[in-house]
Copies of this chain bind each other. A is one copy, B any other.
Amino acid sequence: MKPVIVVHGGAGAILQKYAEGYRSGVKRAALRGYDILRQGGDAITAVEEAVVVLEDDPHFNAGHGSVLNEEGEVEMDAIIMDGKDLSSGAVSAVRCIANPIKLARLVMEKTDHMLLTGNGAALFAKSQGIPEIPGEKLISERSRERWKKNLLSSSTQKGFGTVGAVAVDSQGNVASATSTGGITNKMVGRVGDTACIGSGGYADNNSGAVSTTGHGESIMKVTLARLILHYMEQGMSVEEAADAGLNYMKTRVDDSGGVIVVNSAGEWTAKFSTNQMSWAAIKDDNLNCGIYLGENEIIPISENL
């Protein structure tokens, strides 16, 4: 079985001056995940490590670079899921850690639970030796500027985005990981789709893996990740199911978003109904990448490594 990884850096409007940063970020994340898969690593580790690359890159709304809540603080959500046995771990409204996706994986592997929130998640992080960092360290200049602008203007910029990865490994196991800082100027304690299994992500070897991005509340209303896998269970291809899921969200709750999908046969897609979504995918040693509708740059990965 040939391994595949697909990553996204969030759906929504991407300013041209940042486009190259987004492009290079999603490429690096995909290469990181693919490297793990090519060495025989498992899908769950590949998606975790790919998301860590995106959390560490301040271009993206996750980890360092997360948007700020109404109090000017960073609160993050993340989820990871293993399609082998439907096990999953998630955290919500966590502060002062560099990589929420790593904490989500520890919830999955070291506890009897699947979702830890706020102070409880912080206590658990401490017990696992995850260093607490100053909240300031997660804040990029751009996040702070956007937050200030929203405080001053009556019409808030609905800045959002998420990062995510899905993969299938050489054993045919699928996995999904999603991480986010949420919505700009959100209320303290607001949790979005990312922490909610079936909304921000889902993975099942019997069908495939999905990671979603967009306005969290709309994604939750239609439990978008699980919905797309239901469509695949009913016989749709990954492309048809992704389109059907996004169309359903448009029809039922009048909103747009983006998704990446892979099935256990290694078929994949990256689809969005927003204007842009940064994404990258690697299969058969070819890296595919795009931001704008219809864009698909294809590069043999020998040129990238």
Q: What residues of chain A have their CB less than 8 Å away from a CB belonging to chain B?
A: 75, 86-88, 92-93, 111-121, 123-124, 186-192, 195-199, 202, 216-217, 220-223, 226-227, 230, 234, 252-253
A216 proximity list for chain B (CB < 8 A): 114
User: Within the complex, what minimum Cβ distance (angstroms) separates A122 from chain B?
Assistant: 8
* A-B residue pairs, 10 tightest by C-beta: A120-B189, A118-B118, A120-B188, A198-B223, A86-B221, A115-B191, A113-B190, A116-B189, A196-B196, A117-B117
- Per assembly, the copies of the chain total 2
Cα(A93)–Cα(B113), bound, Å = 14
If A117-B118, A196-B196, A226-B198 touch, whether A187 touches B124 (CB-CB below 8 Å) is yes
A221 proximity list for chain B (CB < 8 A): 86-88, 114, 197
Cα(A65)–Cα(B38), bound, Å = 53
Known: A113-B217, A119-B188. 9 other contacts (CB 8 A): A86-B253, A111-B187, A116-B187, A117-B118, A118-B118, A196-B196, A197-B220, A226-B226, A234-B234
A191 proximity list for chain B (CB < 8 A): 92, 115-117
